Amino acid sequence: MQFQTQTRPNLLSVLVMDDRIDASSAIQFKERLRDLTQNGEPRVVLDLARVQFLDSSGLGAIVAVKKLLGPDRVLELSSLTPSVEKVFRLTRMDTIFTIHASHAVALSHDAGA
Where does the pLDDT of residue 107 fall: very low under 50, low under 70, confident under 90, or very high at 90 and above? confident
- DSSP letter for 9, please: T
Q: End-to-end alpha-carbon separation of the chain, Å?
A: 31
Q: For 24-58, give the DSSP string.
A: TTHHHHHHHHHHHTTT--SEEEEE-TT--EE-HHH
Phi, psi at 23, each rounded to 5° = -55, -35
Distance CA 77, CA 46 (A): 5
The rounded mean pLDDT for the chain is 93
- Domains of the chain from N-terminus onward: 3-112 (3.30.750.24)
Of residues 48 and 110, more confidently modeled: 48
Where does the pLDDT of residue 113 fall: very low under 50, low under 70, confident under 90, or very high at 90 and above? very low
Task: Indicate the pTM of the whole model.
Answer: 0.92
Output the CA–CA distances (angstroms, integers) from residue 33 to 17, 64, 77, 109, in the order listed. Answer: 13, 10, 14, 22
